[in-house]
Chain A
Amino acid sequence: MSSITIQNARKVFGRKEKVVALDDVSIEIEDGEFFVVVGPSGSGKTSLLRIIAGLEQADAGRVYLDEDDVTNRRPRDRDVAMVFQDYALYPQLRVRDNIGFGLKRRKVPKDVIAAKVDELAEMLGLKELLDRRPGQLSGGERQRVALARAIAREPRAFLMDEPLSNLDANLRTATRTELAQLHQRLRTTTVFVTHDQVDAMSLGERVAVMRDGNIEQLDTPSGLYERPVSLFVAAFIGSPPINLVETQVTDGTVTVGEAEVPVPGASLEGRSVIVGVRPADFEDEAFALDPSWPKLPVAVTVRKDLGSDAEVVFAVDAKPVRRDDVSSALAGGEFAEVDLVHGRDVPMFAARINAKSSSRIGHNLQLTIDPGRIYLFDPDSGSLILGPGRPEAAVVTSEA
Chain B
Amino acid sequence: MVTGGGRTRKLVRDAGIFLVLSALAAAVIIPMVWIVGVALKPPGEYFDIPPVWFSSDSNLQHFRNISGFNAGYRALLNSFIVAICATSASMVLGTAAAYGLARLRRRGDVWSIWFLSQRILPPVALVIPVFLLIREIGWIDTYQGLILPYIAINTPFVVWMMRGYFLEIPTAIEESAMTDGCGRWSVLFRVVLPLVVPGLLATGVFVWIYIWSEFLIGLFITQTSASITAAVQLPSFTIANDVLWGEMSAFSLLMATPVLILGLFIQRYFVRGLTLGAVKG
Contact = CB atoms under 8 A, between A and B. Distances in A.
Interface of A: 53-55, 74-76, 78, 80-82, 84-86, 88-92, 101-102, 105-106, 149, 153, 159
B172 A105 contact: no
Given A92-B195, A105-B186, A75 B173 contact: no
A214 to B, nearest CB: 25
Interface of B: 170, 172-173, 175-183, 186, 191, 194-195
A55 B178 contact: yes
A76 B172 contact: no
Contacts of B177: 90, 101
B195 A102 contact: no
20 contacts: A53-B175, A54-B178, A54-B179, A75-B179, A78-B179, A82-B175, A84-B175, A85-B172, A86-B172, A88-B170, A88-B173, A90-B177, A91-B173, A91-B195, A92-B194, A101-B180, A105-B182, A105-B186, A149-B180, A159-B179
B104 to A, nearest CB: 14
Interface SS, B side: helix
Contacts of B194: 92
B181 A55 contact: no
Interface SS, A side: loop
A76 B175 contact: no
Given A76-B178, A76-B179, A81-B179, 6 more contacts: A55-B179, A82-B176, A84-B175, A84-B176, A88-B173, A102-B181
B151 to A, nearest CB: 29
B228 to A, nearest CB: 43
B172 A88 contact: yes
Determine which residue in B173, B177, B179, B195 has the highest number of CB atoms from chain A within 10 A of its CB, and name it: B179
Contact of A88 (B175, B182, B183): B175
A264 to B, nearest CB: 52
A82 B172 CA distance: 10
A81 B177 CA distance: 10
A101 B174 CA distance: 13
Contact of B191 (A53, A76, A85, A90): A90
A74 B181 contact: no
B195 to A, nearest CB: 6
A28 B180 CA distance: 24
- 3 pairs of A and B residues whose beta carbons are closest in the complex: A105-B181, A88-B172, A102-B180
A86 B169 CA distance: 13
